Amino acid sequence: MTATPDIDASALWSDIEALAGITDPDRPWTRRSFSRLFLEGRDWLRAAFEAEGLSVRIDPAGNLIGRIEGRELPERVVMTGSHSDTVPDGGRFDGIGGVLAGLAAIRAMRAAGYQPRHSLELVDFLAEEPSEWGLSCVGSRGMAGALGARELALTGPGGETLADAIDRIGGDVARLDEARRDDLAAYVELHIEQGMVLEREQVPVGVVSGIAGVVRLKLAFAGEAGHAGTTLMSLRQDASLALARFQLAMRDAAIAAAAAGEGHFVATIGVVDILPGGANVVPGRAEIIIDMRAESSTLMTRQVALFRQLAEAAAAAEGCRLDAFTQISNVAPAACAPALREMIAVSAAERQMASRELASGAGHDAVFLSQIAPAAMIFVPSKGGLSHCPEEWTSPEEMAAGARCLLDTLLKADAA
């Protein structure tokens, strides 16, 4: 090594701006997975990877992978990356920042003449965001062996199956088993926080302790529909009021759980259907979907049971009944590897940057990578906590600081 590796902040920002420019001009910043613009973005990434000396391929699960062979342990891989697809009307940094920070780290290594011990891989994972096929983290699922026949049979626009869509963008589902990895020594992903903690505390580096698991529940409160003008208030069995009682009780229980010291916990009711839905009809049924996120599986299990009790009590208080309480999905929490978390914290300190641990309430490709390798994440601040919207913003200085922490963490992981 001829010099100390450091990030070219100007080149990193130019890359972010260049990839951001590949968007639906009427809906910036939109580059949906499997779309023409997504493939155009991938062509740009391939050229950028190759310009930094990486050999580039698309694996059978549709992940774009750039690789530098290791000098001592080529069979073991230190991996970084994220995703280049966006939600509709999304931002320029979610996922993209992680891919391009990884590229900036490799650029810094090459400029300093650094020859890695392990092989290094930089990955643009396929379809981290929920796609038109109704599934998120498609590529990382494939890498972890969690992309099965049920998922591959999902249909999207025009009836195209997910399997056919993966093949269309360069994957090869017939060889999907070859996408599974057992050679990873470490995986480190940089990502914008998508929250307000780092900005409010003026901390440039977040060391992610774990990625919250997600459970979604479907509940239905059943009462009795009636005429809004003739059904006396004292005789009503209003399902919407049972729901209202439950919403407030759930909120209070979620606040208590979050304050109990067992890690991150949030609960949200984002889907509500009041039936029959007439302005002059007492609601006879209320259906909701709850999104619950917890850093601890034990806490999640306890809260699911508590929410059922609260729902039954709310229904009884309004003369209604709890007609359904169904778990419709469950993704387990993923703890970040302690050794990698320590490397991130030390790397920040060595650059005189403050850091703090925090959980991720959002899902990431690192969830699935943690199933097959030691994995960790670095967060950088998000202005106003905004994400998945055009206003999503992380400054050039904040991106460069995070990229420097990523660079140093990758160097430590390579030396381990």
Domain that holds residue 178: 9-211+335-415
3 domain-assigned:
no
15-33: b or e for each residue (b if 16 or more CB lie within 10 Å)? bbeebbebbbeeebbbbbb
In this structure, are residues 334 and 109 in contact, taking their beta carbons and an 8 Å threshold? Answer: no
- Are 17 and 132 contained in the same domain? yes
Which CATH number does the domain housing residue 48 bear? 3.40.630.10
> What is the predicted pLDDT for the residue at 360?
97
> What is the predicted pLDDT for the residue at 322?
98
In this structure, are residues 105 and 332 in contact, taking their beta carbons and an 8 Å threshold? Answer: no
Q: Please identify, among 301, 331, 361, the residue that sits at the C-terminal boundary of a domain.
A: 331
177 marked as binding residue: no
309 domain-assigned:
yes
Instruction: Write down the pTM of the prediction.
Output: 0.92
- Are 148 and 230 contained in the same domain? no
94 marked as binding residue: yes
Q: What is the 3-state secondary structure (H, E, C) of 19-58?
A: HHCCCCCCCCCCCCCCCHHHHHHHHHHHHHHHHCCCEEEE
> What is the predicted pLDDT for the residue at 329?
86
> What is the predicted pLDDT for the residue at 52?
97
Residue 148, C-beta contacts closer than 8 angstroms, at least 6 positions apart:
none
224 marked as binding residue: no
> What is the predicted pLDDT for the residue at 3?
82
Would you state the structure tokens that stand for residue 198, as one six-digit string? Answer: 């780092």
- Are 269 and 363 contained in the same domain? no
> What is the predicted pLDDT for the residue at 2?
77
Q: Please identify, among 303, 331, 359, the residue that sits at the C-terminal boundary of a domain.
A: 331
83 marked as binding residue: yes
216 marked as binding residue: yes
> What is the predicted pLDDT for the residue at 321?
98
Positions of the chain with pLDDT lower than 70, given as ranges? none
- Are 381 and 397 contained in the same domain? yes
pLDDT tens-digit series, residues 347-361? 999 999 999 999 999
40 domain-assigned:
yes
Q: What is the mean pLDDT of the chain?
A: 97
> What is the predicted pLDDT for the residue at 1?
79
118 marked as binding residue: no
